[in-house]
Structure 1
Amino acid sequence: MGKALFIVDVQNDFTEGGALGVEGGDAVAEGLTRLLAGHAGDYDLIIASRDWHDGANDNGGHFSEAPDFVDSWPVHCVAGTPGAEYDPGFDASAVTHHVKKGQGVPAYSLFEGTTDAGEKVEELLDAHGIVDVDVAGIATDYCVRASALDAIAHGRHVRILTDLVAGVAPASSEAALAELAHAGAELVSSPAPA
């Protein structure tokens, strides 16, 4: 019975000062670094996702010059740009698998991405006997929500580390956490530093 940590989209374009920066994003990055410094060994897999969009097109309608901020967004996390890189406050050295998602299409859940070796998240979880998944990252009301719901749909027991998520807006973030709890996720704080 293995355990995994999902770190969702802790990228420069989603933290303060980024193209779609959310309040608290830098704090999430730093908090994850502290968590991994003391608790990386608690996890069999540590999977970090990044939006990794193709800048040459609209990415299936995901990018728009007049975004509605629901289904379309300003240009963000274009592959190979500083905005697509991890936030400098996040030390990714303990990450076991890096997943890129959104190449040419909209993608919110890390289950929609693959590693550079072409591995899918569901395959990684199955291969390592992962039953329990902790989820943290950005944004609570979009990619964290989608990734956690997919983990539940794939039969995993999910915990949301509520002190290590940041959302686009307070109301939609609260609604996402309520939806996740209703779907069976536990809402917990991250473990204290070791």
Structure 2
Amino acid sequence: MTRALFIIDVQNDFTEGGALGVQGGAAVAAGVTELLEKHRDVYKVVVASRDWHDADNDNGGHFATDDEPDFVDTWPEHCVAGSDGAEYHPAFDASVVDIHVRKGQGVPAYSIFEGIDDDGRPVAHHLDELGITDVDLVGLATDYCVRASGLDAIEHGRHVRVFTDLVAGVTPASSDAALAELGHAGAEITESSVLDEATA
């Protein structure tokens, strides 16, 4: 097996009712759990990222402090380290995750490749060590961290599939644009049902 699953930021603050909740976030959390219940054996490694921001500063300008957030470069406070908002959504079974990645920690960060595991190692280290050539991508939000993670995975020489039934974004227009950009960069834009077809 040379395939990894990247699960991007399925956290309380990015799902309904959270500080930056997206419509459909809870359904993505449950859907990812269902996918792994059926197809965990497809993946050599499962990697999940979380935004993990400092509580006592603006995280390199990532948190809007004096002005209103522009929702492009500055954001309301979210996913503060140790807070409930930073935790995985309860519908997501994190027990099947092999590598937990935290990103942010004082600076703006969108891509899973900008994060580190509990031992301080970046995702690229694990991909190289495990011989991962293919990455399936799910999570939140399509138009920000999923987009950035997918583009970085392609930049790192991996073949990427994005499962459109297991992502959710901030707006339909920006999500569609992100998926189009990923497709143009070389990602395969498909649905998780391809896993059922592969094992049928």
Q: What TM-score, normalized by structure 1, do the two folds share?
A: 0.98
Residue 111 (structure 1) aligned with residue 110 (structure 2): no
Q: Name the CA distance, whole Å, in 1 between partners of 2:47 and 2:40.
A: 11
3-state DSSP class of the match of 1:98?
Answer: strand
Corresponding position of 1:128: 130
Identity of aligned residues (%): 69
- 1:42-87: CA deviation from partner (whole Å, max 9, x where unpaired): 1011000000000100000000141000000000000000000000
Over aligned residues, Cα RMSD in angstroms? 1.1
Q: Name the CA distance, whole Å, in 1 between partners of 2:32 and 2:40.
A: 10
Q: Name the CA distance, whole Å, in 2 between partners of 1:118 and 1:109.
A: 16
- Name the count of aligned residue pairs: 194
Q: Name the CA distance, whole Å, in 2 between partners of 1:48 and 1:143.
A: 12
Residue 7 (structure 1) aligned with residue 10 (structure 2): no
1:91-106 equivalent positions in 2, closer than 5 A = 91-106=93-108
Farther off after superposition, 81-90 or 184-193: 184-193
Residue 82 (structure 1) aligned with residue 117 (structure 2): no
Question: In the TM superposition, what is the alpha-carbon distance from 1:151 to its structure 2 partner?
Answer: 0.1
3-state DSSP class of the match of 1:107?
Answer: coil
Corresponding position of 1:153: 155
Corresponding position of 1:51: 51
Corresponding position of 1:62: 62
Q: Name the CA distance, whole Å, in 1 between partners of 2:47 and 2:121.
A: 12
Gaps of 5+ in 1: none
AA aligned to 2:131 is G
Q: Name the CA distance, whole Å, in 1 between partners of 2:22 and 2:137.
A: 18
3-state DSSP class of the match of 2:36?
Answer: helix
Corresponding position of 2:164: 162
Q: Name the CA distance, whole Å, in 1 between partners of 2:159 and 2:57.
A: 37
3-state DSSP class of the match of 1:130?
Answer: coil
Q: Name the CA distance, whole Å, in 1 between partners of 2:45 and 2:120.
A: 16
Residue 187 (structure 1) aligned with residue 193 (structure 2): no
AA aligned to 2:10 is V
